[in-house]
């Protein structure tokens, strides 16, 4: 198996327009073979999605999901480029799946870029203290914290979370498969998650939506 280098990942990104993590995952599956990695991405429907990322999304739907028993509910807005795509079964399936995922996984933000500076700095301080308590060398702290922050984003950011119905895909990758299939850019705009008796959860969801 060829080594999965940053250069190899960059080459696959340039050829497909897919994200860094998608490219790395595809190369791991393809055992480092660039051509096979591109095939993997195409099979996942991700390869062409990145090329549409800059296109405006002014249509879409707002959907709700109420968990059994009525104790947990989600409202989410997902946008696309045309009303025609918004009415398709594929788009409606996507927005339902994302709402259900939010109910199950309780993300705090849509994407990494939405995470507040305060939350980032707080988590970095926690991970630094943890690494020092574990006896990690000072010169390795920055790299250790960076690695653990990736896990932090995976836990709190919707698009970074493993999709509950198919954990081999992140929610972001799921969206990209729909972009590739429907031929339009698709973006998750905002969400709110409510849980009976948990006012803090509702406030967090509203903050993420803003």
Q: What is the pLDDT of residues 157-206, one digit of tens each?
A: 999 999 999 888 899 989 988 888 888 899 999 999 998 887 655 444 44
CATH architecture of 116-154: Orthogonal Bundle (1.10)
What is the per-residue pLDDT for 208? 44
**What percentage of the chain has pLDDT greater than the value 90?**
43
Helix runs in the chain, H state only = 6-16, 20-29, 34-44, 83-86, 89-105, 117-133, 141-156, 171-182, 199-209
Q: pTM of whole model > 0.75?
A: no
**Displacement of CA 7 from its chain's centroid (Å):** 23
What is the per-residue pLDDT for 164? 94
Please tell me the distance from the alpha carbon of residue 195 to that of residue 171, in angstroms, as a whole number. Answer: 22
Q: What's the average model confidence in pLDDT over 113-129?
A: 92
What is the per-residue pLDDT for 17? 66
Of 54 and 96, the structure prediction assigns the larger pLDDT to: 96
Q: Tell me the three state secondary structure of residue 124.
A: helix
Q: Where in the chain is the domain with CATH 1.10.8.10?
A: 6-47
Please tell me the distance from the alpha carbon of residue 59 to that of residue 23, in angstroms, as a whole number. Answer: 29
Q: Where in the chain is the domain with CATH 3.30.479.20?
A: 55-112+157-209
What is the per-residue pLDDT for 12? 82
Please tell me the distance from the alpha carbon of residue 194 to that of residue 203, in angstroms, as a whole number. Answer: 9
What is the per-residue pLDDT for 210? 44
What is the per-residue pLDDT for 37? 87
Q: Where in the chain is the domain with CATH 1.10.286?
A: 116-154
Tokens coding 114: 């939405």
Of 140 and 49, the structure prediction assigns the larger pLDDT to: 140
Please tell me the distance from the alpha carbon of residue 58 to that of residue 81, in angstroms, as a whole number. Answer: 6
Q: Which CATH code for domain 55-112+157-209?
A: 3.30.479.20
> Is 6-47 a CATH 1.10.8.10 domain?
yes
């Amino acid at each position: 198996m060829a080594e999965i280098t940053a250069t190899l990942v960059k080459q696959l990104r340039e050829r497909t327009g897919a994200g860094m993590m998608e490219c790395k995952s595809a190369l791991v599956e393809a055992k480092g073979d660039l051509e096979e990695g591109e095939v993997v991405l195409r099979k996942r429907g991700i390869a062409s999605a990145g090329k549409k990322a800059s296109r405006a999304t002014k249509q879409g739907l707002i959907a709700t999901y109420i968990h059994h028993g009525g104790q947990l509910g989600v409202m989410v807005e997902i946008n696309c480029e045309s009303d025609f795509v918004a009415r398709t079964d594929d788009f409606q399936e996507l927005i339902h799946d994302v709402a259900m995922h939010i109910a199950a996984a309780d993300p705090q933000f849509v994407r990494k870029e939405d995470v507040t500076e305060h939350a980032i700095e707080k988590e970095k301080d926690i991970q630094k203290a943890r690494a020092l308590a574990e006896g990690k060398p000072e010169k390795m702290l920055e790299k250790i914290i960076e690695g653990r922050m990736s896990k932090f984003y995976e836990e709190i950011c919707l698009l970074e979370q493993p999709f509950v119905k198919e954990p081999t895909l992140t929610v972001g990758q799921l969206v990209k498969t729909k972009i590739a299939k429907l031929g339009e850019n698709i973006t998750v705009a905002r969400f709110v998650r409510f849980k009976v008796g948990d006012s803090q959860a509702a406030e967090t969801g509203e903050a993420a939506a803003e």
